[in-house]
């Protein structure tokens, strides 16, 4: 069986490279070849991941593939989970991309740039890189895969840079943030490898015990910073709400549902597995940043009026929830409550899976709307139910899954997370007694606000009347795009109704993390009814859903029976007697969020501009009123602007150093080299 | 808060003792409402004299709510329309649509001399006619403006209390 994992994984890599070669085909055939190949690679990766989660690990060492270090790959249940998730997202996104990137039939260039050779080749390469990251088993392989993932995704983000100027800016932010993250990770892992005299993960794992606490903490903090920036954790999230909206939608889905997971993978792999856990403050930092990220992300999602920006901030929120689970797991393992720590980690991993499902669906549906209307602005959308019934229904399913209410899939994982946080109290000690209730409140508040955000996205974006001419002209997307979304929706529904099916695999994945490996027995059991180990509570998503459906049917029957007593009458929609009702009278995304903006005024700090121009003759008669309100990203404003200004100042101040003289530049090189040699000689 | 409570304590009850119930049967359509009548007020072109008296009828002294009549904010919530003023051209369509929007069974009360027969505004260029020229009227209240007691009497005629 071990060979199944290896064969499927190698097949996934091979198919991905083959799909990239498919970009050499003529323009018409390119999307189908690259998309189909990527989908096949994704399917193979799902098989490999599931086989690994079922307990069939696989590893290989190819010493001659790369100079000096070689390539070391190992697929264990934890890697398997992330490989399977990435593969599943890739299948949906690639099938969707066949329709999304296809050139328009009538010769007009519908999506310029998306069917280009480079863009088509990057998609499978991006997927291959994301499959390699969790499979890497040595520092050099890991860093190589990580950088490959960053570069391919960056090239995909800027695919439409000729169309919109904002793409370039988003790409710049992403490039800088992702490379700063790489530097942090590289510094941490290189230090780790140097201290343990070897760079394979096995060697690191064995040497981690013997390292001094200072080195361990330095490694953890450096890698945490890098991984958190990839996961979009506040305050390192700034690239995410820029890059996700500007990337082509299938790429947004891949980035938001699969790539950000790699940040979580890194934290779990390095913190809980390689380092084998650590002092409580590490995990308090993780938990606190997760909590801040969850709240800040969901608040920004509530006020966002750009559909894809809303989804991007929702990613920040969900990754925050995952980190709350990871942090709780680490914290509880320190105080010895290993069974509950394993449950918290399992809940976090389940949330990674669920988030990947619904975020793929939502980004693909948002892309379908963008493709049909050309706008992402919720205030200009609406009325899509009749022209785009499939997209509307699928986005509705996605929004339901993202809300932490039954029968959504997020409900299951957040319920498990809350169970682990609530039951942490008796065993967790004083620290848990203080932090866990706060964490519970954070999870509950962000779950509630997420519902408001998705009610807004669905209600304002799809229902009521169209608010602009572009929304009126919308047409349903092509069958390939709908097929991609349907696949994602089916996966979401399966995860929501029968999460117990993957419980065994998740438990095994959580068990890889040495620090929280339970004393025996899976943290969650049961195919239909979920039973967290050692707790009195149980929950069955399937039965809840059936009960909900029965309740709805009974309620509708009762209402029908009661209302037939009186004759029905068709009446005009009440428009205050004035009429006719226009789209201008509808709720907009801005007005829907206004009460929440007011409540969270101190956090969001909205900027409002009111400009009243009186007529020339009298100051009392108003000629025109202009009102503008924006809710910016306050963290970006307060934290990043000063840094950017300082960097720009340093750049200006250093300009005299580069006066164009070649002799001077050669001199710089010589003195720098000599200085380094002296430094080495002194410190050796 | 303390001042408010003290004022409430010092003022006590100012409502007048309920006068005897007016004679006459409740109109057939209003009988279905069983003593609870939700009212939407429509100003079809009034000089606002009637509005002042309505406010007084629902104020603490006459307190029409204790007989089961209540003002509401939308015709969709209402059982009865309380129309004041002659119907002007600008309000003709709005009055008709408001009447359409009230669910069955519905009652229309024309309040004041203008609503009954245009009053001093009869034959003015902006006036379409009395309320009964636009929507069917069930109850009329005399007066220019009608006294609050008359308004309360008419509403008690609808609620039957």
> Which residues in A lie closer than 8 A to residue B74 (C-beta atoms)?
574
ipTM: 0.81
Taking residues B4-28, what's their average pLDDT? 86
**Is A577 within 8 Å of B98 when comparing Cβ atoms?**
yes
A254 pLDDT above the threshold of 70: yes
Q: What is the DSSP letter of B146?
A: P
pLDDT of residue A514: 66
- What is the C-alpha separation between A411 and A407, in angstroms, rounded? 7
Taking residues A18-38, what's their average pLDDT? 90
Q: Between A30-53 and A77-100, two packed helices, what is the crossing angle to 10 degrees?
A: 160
* Per-state percent for chain B, helix, strand, coil, to nearest 5: 40, 15, 40
- What is the C-alpha separation between A175 and A167, in angstroms, rounded? 12
Q: Considering chain A, what percentage of its residues have pLDDT values greater than 70?
A: 96
In this predicted model, what pLDDT tens digit does every residue of A143-172 receive, in sequence order? Answer: 999 999 999 999 999 988 888 888 999 999
pLDDT of residue A504: 79
pLDDT band with cut points at 50, 70 and 90 for residue A334: confident
CB contact, 8 Å: B76 with chain A?
yes
Considering only the beta carbons, identify the residue of B76, B93, B104 that sits closest to A574. Answer: B76
pLDDT of residue A488: 95
pLDDT band with cut points at 50, 70 and 90 for residue A520: low
**Is A569 within 8 Å of B104 when comparing Cβ atoms?**
yes
Question: Other C-beta atoms within 10 Å of B149: how many?
Answer: 15
Q: How far is B76 from chain A (nearest CA, A)?
A: 8
**Host H or E run for residue A457:** helix A425-462
**Which chain B residue's Cα is nearest to A571?**
B101
Q: Nearest-CA neighbor of A500 among A350, A321, A358?
A: A350
| Positive or negative: CA dihedral A599, A600, A605, A608 | negative
Taking residues A677-684, what's their average pLDDT? 90
- What is the C-alpha separation between A461 and A196, in angstroms, rounded? 54
Token pair in block for residue A400: 């339901």
User: Does residue A57 contact residue A76 with C-beta atoms inside 8 Å?
Assistant: yes
Beta bridge mates, A324: none
pLDDT of residue A112: 54
Question: Other C-beta atoms within 10 Å of A529: how many?
Answer: 13
Q: How many CA atoms lie within 13 A of A300 on its CB side?
A: 29
Taking residues B122-139, what's their average pLDDT? 93
Q: Nearest-CA neighbor of A363 among A258, A465, A499?
A: A258
Taking residues A673-678, what's their average pLDDT? 96
Phi, psi of A101 (to 5 degrees): -100, 0
Token pair in block for residue A529: 């009814």
pLDDT of residue A116: 84
Taking residues A346-357, what's their average pLDDT? 94
In this predicted model, what pLDDT tens digit does every residue of A576-620 receive, in sequence order? Answer: 887 788 888 888 998 999 999 999 988 888 888 899 998 888 888
Taking residues B46-59, what's their average pLDDT? 95
Q: In which residue are the tokens 């409540």 written?
A: A599
Token pair in block for residue A570: 């068709």
Token pair in block for residue A672: 């720098």
A653 pLDDT above the threshold of 90: yes
Mean pLDDT score of chain A, rounded to an integer?
90
**CA–CA distance from A354 to each of A55, A343, A454, A562 (Å)?**
22, 16, 16, 40
pLDDT band with cut points at 50, 70 and 90 for residue A107: very low
Taking residues A479-507, what's their average pLDDT? 89
Q: Nearest-CA neighbor of A367 among A231, A484, A230?
A: A484
> Which residues in A lie closer than 8 A to residue B101 (C-beta atoms)?
571-572, 574, 577
Token pair in block for residue A386: 């009749």
> Which residues in B lie closer than 8 A to residue A577 (C-beta atoms)?
93-95, 97-98, 101
What's the start-to-end Cα distance of chain B, in Å? 35
Q: What is the number of residues in chain A?
A: 684
b/e map A366-389, b = 16+ CB within 10 Å: bbbbbbbbebbbbbbbbbbeebbe
A637 pLDDT above the threshold of 60: yes
Q: Is A107 left (phi over 0), alpha (psi -120 to 50) or beta?
A: left
Distance of CA B109 to the CA centre of its chain: 6
Q: Considering only residues A397 and A339, tell me which one the structure prediction assigns the higher pLDDT.
A: A397
User: Does residue A279 contact residue A255 with C-beta atoms inside 8 Å?
Assistant: no
> Which residues in B lie closer than 8 A to residue A579 (C-beta atoms)?
97
DSSP class per residue in A619-640: TTSEEEEEEEEE---HHIIIII
- What is the C-alpha separation between A315 and A309, in angstroms, rounded? 10
């Amino acid at each position: 069986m071990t060979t199944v994992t290896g064969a499927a994984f190698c097949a996934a890599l091979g198919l991905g490279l083959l799909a990239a070669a498919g970009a050499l085909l003529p323009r018409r055939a390119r999307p189908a070849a690259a998309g189909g190949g990527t989908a096949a690679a994704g399917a193979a990766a799902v098989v490999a991941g599931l086989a690994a989660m079922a307990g069939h690990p696989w590893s290989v060492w190819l010493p001659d593939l790369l100079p000096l270090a070689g390539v070391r790959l190992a697929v264990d249940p934890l890697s398997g989970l992330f490989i399977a998730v990435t593969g599943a997202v890739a299948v949906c996104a690639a099938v969707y991309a066949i329709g999304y990137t296809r050139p328009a039939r009538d010769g007009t260039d519908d999506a310029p740039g998306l069917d280009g050779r480079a863009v088509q080749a990057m998609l499978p390469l991006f997927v291959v890189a994301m499959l390699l990251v969790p499979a890497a088993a040595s520092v050099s392989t890991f860093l190589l895969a990580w950088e490959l993932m960053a570069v391919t995704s960056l090239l995909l983000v800027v695919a439409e840079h000729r169309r919109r100027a904002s793409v370039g800016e988003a790409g710049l932010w992403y490039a800088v943030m992702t490379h700063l993250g790489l530097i942090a990770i590289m510094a941490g892992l290189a230090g780790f490898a140097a201290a343990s005299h070897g760079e394979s993960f096995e060697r690191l794992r064995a040497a981690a015990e013997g390292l001094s606490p200072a080195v361990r903490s330095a490694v953890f903090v450096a890698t945490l910073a890098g991984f958190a920036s990839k996961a979009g954790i506040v305050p390192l999230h700034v690239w995410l709400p820029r890059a996700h909206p500007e990337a082509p939608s299938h790429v947004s889905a891949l980035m938001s549902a699969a790539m950000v997971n790699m940040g979580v993978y890194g934290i779990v792999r390095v913190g809980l597995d390689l380092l084998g856990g650590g002092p409580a403050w590490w995990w308090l930092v993780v938990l606190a940043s997760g909590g801040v990220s969850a709240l800040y992300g969901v608040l920004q999602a509530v006020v966002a009026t750009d559909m894809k920006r809303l989804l991007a901030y929702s990613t920040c929120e969900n990754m925050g929830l995952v980190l709350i689970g990871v942090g709780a797991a680490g914290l509880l393992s320190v105080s010895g409550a290993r069974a509950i720590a394993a449950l918290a980690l399992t809940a976090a991993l389940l949330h990674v899976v669920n988030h990947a499902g619904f975020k793929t669906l939502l980004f693909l549906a948002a892309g379908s709307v963008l493709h049909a209307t050309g706008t992402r602005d919720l205030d200009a959308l609406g009325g899509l139910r009749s022209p785009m019934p499939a997209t509307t229904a699928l986005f509705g399913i996605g929004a339901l899954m993202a809300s932490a209410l039954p029968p959504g899939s997020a409900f299951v994982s957040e319920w498990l997370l809350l169970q682990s946080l609530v039951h942490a109290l008796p065993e967790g000690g004083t620290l848990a007694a203080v932090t866990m209730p706060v964490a519970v409140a954070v999870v509950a508040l962000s779950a509630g606000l997420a519902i408001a955000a998705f009610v807004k996205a669905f209600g304002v974006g799809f229902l009521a009347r169209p608010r602009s001419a572009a929304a009126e002209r919308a047409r349903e997307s092509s069958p390939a795009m709908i097929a991609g979304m349907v696949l994602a929706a089916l996966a979401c529904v399966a995860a929501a109704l029968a999460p117990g099916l993957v419980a065994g695999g998740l438990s095994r994945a959580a068990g890889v993390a040495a620090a929280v490996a339970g004393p025996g027995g899976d943290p969650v059991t049961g195919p239909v009814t979920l039973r967290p180990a050692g707790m009195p509570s149980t929950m069955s998503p399937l039965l809840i859903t059936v009960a909900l459906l029965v309740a709805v049917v009974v309620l509708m029957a009762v209402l029908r029976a009661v209302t037939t007593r009186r004759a029905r009458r068709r009446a005009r929609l009440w428009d205050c007697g004035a009429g006719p009702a226009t789209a201008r009278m509808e709720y907009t995304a801005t007005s829907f969020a206004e009460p929440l903006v007011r409540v969270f005024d101190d956090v969001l700090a909205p900027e409002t501009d009111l400009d009243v121009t009186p007529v020339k003759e009298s100051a009392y008669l108003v000629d025109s009123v202009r009102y503008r309100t924006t809710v910016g990203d306050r963290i970006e404003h307060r934290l990043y602007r000063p840094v950017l200004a300082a960097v720009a100042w340093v750049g200006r101040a250093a300009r005299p150093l580069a006066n164009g003289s070649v002799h001077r530049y050669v001199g710089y090189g010589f003195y720098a080299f000599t200085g380094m040699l002296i430094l080495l000689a002194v410190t050796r | 808060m303390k001042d408010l409570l003290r004022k409430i304590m010092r003022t006590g009850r100012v409502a007048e003792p309920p006068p005897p119930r007016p004679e006459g049967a409740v109109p057939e359509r209003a009988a279905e409402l069983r003593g609870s009548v939700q009212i939407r007020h429509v100003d079809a072109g009034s000089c606002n004299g009637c509005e002042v008296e309505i406010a007084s009828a629902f104020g603490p002294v006459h307190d029409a709510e204790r007989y089961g009549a209540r003002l509401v904010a939308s015709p969709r919530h209402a059982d009865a329309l309380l129309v004041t003023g002659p119907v002007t051209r600008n309000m003709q369509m709005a009055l008709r649509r408001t009447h359409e929007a009230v669910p069955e069974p519905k009652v229309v009360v024309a309040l004041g001399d203008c609503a009954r027969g245009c009053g001093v505004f009869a034959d003015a260029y902006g006036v379409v006619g009395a309320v009964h020229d636009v929507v069917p009227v069930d109850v009329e209240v005399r007066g220019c403006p009608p006294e609050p007691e008359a308004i309360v009497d008419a509403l008690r005629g609808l609620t039957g209390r």
